[in-house]
Chain A
Amino acid sequence: MVTLNDVYIIGAGETKFGELWDKSLRELAVEAGLKAVEDAGVYTKDIDILYGSNTLGAGISYQNDIGSLISDFSGIAADHIPALRVEASTASGAAAIREAYLSIRSGEYNVAMIGGVEKLTDIYGSEILDKTSTLLDSEWEAFFGATPAAVAALTARKYMKDFNVSKEVLARISVNDHENASKNPDAQFRNRISVETALNSLPVAEPLNIMDCSPIGDGAAALLLASEEFVKKNKIDGVRIIASSIAQDFLALHSRESIYRLDSTVIAARKALEKAGIRNDQIGMVELHNSYSIYGLIALEDLGFAEKGKAKDLVEADIKLDGRIPVNPSGGLKAKGNPFGATGVGQAVEAYLQFKNRAGERQIKGLEYAMLHNMGGSGSTSIVHILGGA
């Protein structure tokens, strides 16, 4: 019988998320990385491997080989520490966490560093949609004029009709994000918004308005993971990753079994809960992938917090910071921000801060388990992590 190692998060750091005109891709990655290294109290010699996560660097910053880039400018290239980039569309961040987790869990390494980074503001206007639409099926969705927002809108229209859900319900997912982000200094938007503001914002792809859509922004987030052996030897009080799961679905929405059930999410969540050996109602916070408000709503169902069509019952009270299942205490993709490669890593940074009682005004008390949900595109990849436990 092979023994698998327990894996802990021992340090976290992130840049502010937002339109960071004065910072380059590499500067962002290094800033977050150094914060995480300092937070963990480790040294370069302790790091066995580095996983960089990034989604559109080649298309926007004309930069590939982001693993080497981060290693180089973090000043560890001369130490010849292996460095790879992990890409899984907008789930790249969680994919990097999972690869780092597996590398330690298997016994190969003791300490892995994760650096998620995205620089989206180096291009302007509708050119950004040329790039983000490459995350769809380019031949059979984007070719015909589909954009990520349009695909989310197709899901939203049908869902709203079949389950009699109003736009106000969708808006409440974004309102909750803004409320929580007002308490997060790293968030892109720290302003509170009302349901009316959300409903009256400009249409992007009907029925979705601009306030249903996560913003374009830059940012980086970094983590250090370590084995139980390393944690014990160095007397570090880490946060344990008790489950990591991933599942896939068809790339294009039109090929899936349902257009408003995220099967990759359903399967990843179920497997994660099984591995963690806990029930869904033991989860004390969830960071979910609301790149569009509709995905936040249906993810609540597909992660198991509500029956299909019933997430509308949770949006008024349950999802709030002091509710039954706090959703996106960080401010989520809508208001903390969605710099793709950094998004999933940033979700783990938030959970880490919450467990360490370092989340300031948005601190959740008595947190036992946290669930993280990072999704690629319209649901082609879903990755679920569960953190916590003794």
Chain B
Amino acid sequence: MGELSRIWRESDHRYRLVAHECGNCKRIFFPPRDVCPICHRDSIGKMREVELSGKGTISSFTVVHDSPRAFKRQRPYVLALIDLDEGPTITAQIVDTPLDQIEIGKRVHSVFRRIHEDGPGGIIQYGYKFAVDLS
């Protein structure tokens, strides 16, 4: 149950890319934060939920060969830092894209995918991944 409640707690943010906007400085934070690291106490009680567009740009990426057990079947996989259009940078996988199309500066959009499975017959976890906008 502990594991399930942990997943449920973050699922809205992971399923719909729900961020927090600081009511004081209007900066947007993802992952969501209860306190703005710029405004500190002036932001208390003023963090509002906002849904992100899921559009962004690759700022860096790596091809991961050596992985934790839950990701073994996906190896090798591409992990990236994505600069989202609304401001935050996030860590996520890039899928559905030929390797030679993955470069720093490429535009991406979010897709909803299975993230990993906690062991054989374990809980399957879902969330965002990204794909390069292919023209």
- Do residues A146 and B91 form an inter-chain contact, with CB atoms below 8 A? yes
Please indicate the chain B residues that have their CB under 8 angstroms from the CB of A154 in the complex.
60-62, 79-81, 91
- Do residues B59 and A126 form an inter-chain contact, with CB atoms below 8 A? no
The number of residues on chain B lying at the interface, defined by a beta carbon within 8 Å of a beta carbon of chain A, is: 34
Please indicate the chain B residues that have their CB under 8 angstroms from the CB of A206 in the complex.
62-63, 65
- Do residues B91 and A254 form an inter-chain contact, with CB atoms below 8 A? yes
Please indicate the chain B residues that have their CB under 8 angstroms from the CB of A353 in the complex.
none
* B3 lies within 8 A of chain A by Cβ: no
Chain B contacts to A: CB under 8 angstroms: 10, 31, 37, 59-72, 74, 77, 79-81, 88-93, 104, 115-116, 125, 127, 129
Minimum C-beta distance from B18 to chain A (A): 13
Closest CB pairs A-B (n = 4): A153-B62, A158-B60, A206-B63, A154-B60
B-facing residues in A102-156 (Cβ within 8 Å): 126-127, 129-130, 133, 137, 139-147, 149-151, 153-156
* A161 lies within 8 A of chain B by Cβ: yes
Please indicate the chain A residues that have their CB under 8 angstroms from the CB of B77 in the complex.
145
Task: Give the size category of A's interface with B.
Answer: 35 or more
Report the Cα distance A133→B115, complex, angstroms: 16
> In the complex, which of the residues A126, A142, A158, A254 has the most CB atoms of chain B within 10 Å of its own CB atom?
A254
Other A-B pairs beyond A129-B68, A154-B91, A254-B89, 13, CB < 8 Å: A126-B67, A126-B68, A126-B72, A144-B79, A144-B115, A145-B71, A145-B77, A154-B61, A204-B65, A253-B81, A254-B91, A255-B89, A259-B60
Please indicate the chain B residues that have their CB under 8 angstroms from the CB of A252 in the complex.
91
Q: What is the predominant secondary structure among interface residues of chain B facing chain A?
A: strand
> In the complex, which of the residues B59, B68, B88 has the most CB atoms of chain A within 10 Å of its own CB atom?
B68
* A185 lies within 8 A of chain B by Cβ: no
Report the Cα distance A207→B61, complex, angstroms: 9
Minimum C-beta distance from A52 to chain B (A): 27
* A202 lies within 8 A of chain B by Cβ: yes
- Nearest residue in B to A158 (C-beta to C-beta)? B60
Minimum C-beta distance from A224 to chain B (A): 38
* A195 lies within 8 A of chain B by Cβ: no
